[in-house]
Amino acid sequence: MDVQVFGVVGGGTMGNGIAHVAAQTGFPVLLCEVDAALGAKALKTIEKNLQRGVDKGKTTADEKAAVLGRIKTTTRLEDLSGCEIVVEAVVENFDVKKKVFQTLDAACGPGTVLASNTSSISITKLAATTKRPGKVIGMHFMNPVPVMQLVEVIRGIATEQAVLDAVMALARKMGKMPVEVNDYPGFVSNRVLLPMINEAVYCLMEGVGTPEAIDTVMKLGMNHPMGPLALADLIGLDTCLFILNVLHDGLGDPKYRPCPLLIKMVDAGHLGRKSGRGFYAY
């Protein structure tokens, strides 16, 4: 894929990370947010994350400025019409994503690939809302995007082989390791990860251990870089609950039922790092 402009929709945790990595690859990036203030906030986050590399001497201030200079923001989805690829990273809500996909489908040229960074919504179902199901694909980056190697590339039932090949090559060009998977609830990453996190929340609810004890067991005992409860706080407890519900509804197996404590924390607005409080205080 010869990317002249790389489109990103949504400048939250995942969207700003995707824009960051695309600009670092050398692509001009057009980032669409719902209002100008959110666009500016996304740029500020990217600036802060690029500064980490400058502080550590891994990149220069000039390189940081060049990367930032490649990212423009807009509030109009129609402005992405000339992009070769658009990666959608808006809230995990099918109706919101559907609206984004249908607007992009109407605005973009027939060759534009529409990718979703969804962590669990069906790519096949999203694709079916457009007139280009063959050009719809999942491009699931991991958080924090600039650091994590994996891109889970999800093939919907109609995704064209050429689109899959092009997106795999694009992910490699962005310095990532793409892994192809088929479209089933939770794909591979979250089908395996979320039951582990859910079980950790059950351990906490049943008093098997404190958050620190549970996380330390998994960190030191299983060599995980962070424990499951700290990771849940990083992902966002609302996102964890949403994905568990997708697994529960989509696979129909009670083993995926979300832990009542997780539901209670989401009800309380304790969503993890983004709200300042989850299993830990931030």
The residues assigned a catalytic role are 119, 140, 152, 190
Task: Say if residue 144 is preceded by a cis peptide, omega within 30 of 0.
Answer: yes
Q: How many CB atoms lie within 10 A of CB 276?
A: 11
187 Ramachandran zone, left/alpha/beta (phi>0; psi -120 to 50):
left
The residues facing 136 across adjacent strands are: 114
Binding-site member from 82, 111, 144, 269 for ligand CAA (CB under 6 A): 144
For ligand CAA, which stretch binds (CB under 6 A), given 36-44, 105-113, 141-149, 264-272?
141-149
Q: Is 235 in the site for ligand CAA (CB under 6 A)?
A: yes
Q: Tell me the one-letter amino acid at 126.
A: L
Query: Which is nearest to 29 in space by CA: 41, 38, 37, 42?
Result: 42
108 or 123: whose CB is closer to ligand CAA? 123
Sign of the alpha-carbon dihedral angle for 173, 175, 177, 183: negative
**Which residues, 22 to 81, sit near ligand CAA by CB under 6 A?**
49, 52, 56, 58
Sign of the alpha-carbon dihedral angle for 244, 247, 248, 254: negative
108 or 138: whose CB is closer to ligand CAA? 138
**Which residues, 147 to 166, sit near ligand CAA by CB under 6 A?**
147-148
Helices 237-251, 260-267: inter-axial angle, 10-degree rounding: 130
Q: Is 16 in the site for ligand CAA (CB under 6 A)?
A: no
Query: Which is nearest to 152 in space by CA: 115, 127, 125?
Result: 115
Binding-site member from 167, 231, 247, 262 for ligand CAA (CB under 6 A): 231
Minimum separation from the CB atom of position 162 to ligand CAA (A):
26
Q: How many CB atoms lie within 10 A of CB 100?
A: 24
Minimum separation from the CB atom of position 81 to ligand CAA (A):
28
147 or 222: whose CB is closer to ligand CAA? 147
Minimum separation from the CB atom of position 213 to ligand CAA (A):
18
Binding-site member from 142, 153, 171, 247 for ligand CAA (CB under 6 A): 142
d(C-alpha 248, C-alpha 198), whole Å? 12
Q: What is the DSSP string of 97-127?
A: HHHHHHHHHHHS-TT-EEEE--SSS-HHHHH
Binding-site member from 226, 260, 268, 269 for ligand CAA (CB under 6 A): 226
For ligand CAA, which stretch binds (CB under 6 A), given 164-172, 224-232, 246-254, 273-281?
224-232
Minimum separation from the CB atom of position 10 to ligand CAA (A):
14
Token pair belonging to 212: 């620190």
Residue nearest ligand CAA (C-beta atom): 119
Q: How many residues bind ligand CAA (CB under 6 A)?
A: 18
Helices 189-205, 211-222: inter-axial angle, 10-degree rounding: 140
Residues interacting with ligand CAA, by CB under 6 A? 49, 52, 56, 58, 119, 142-144, 146-148, 189-190, 193, 225-226, 231, 235
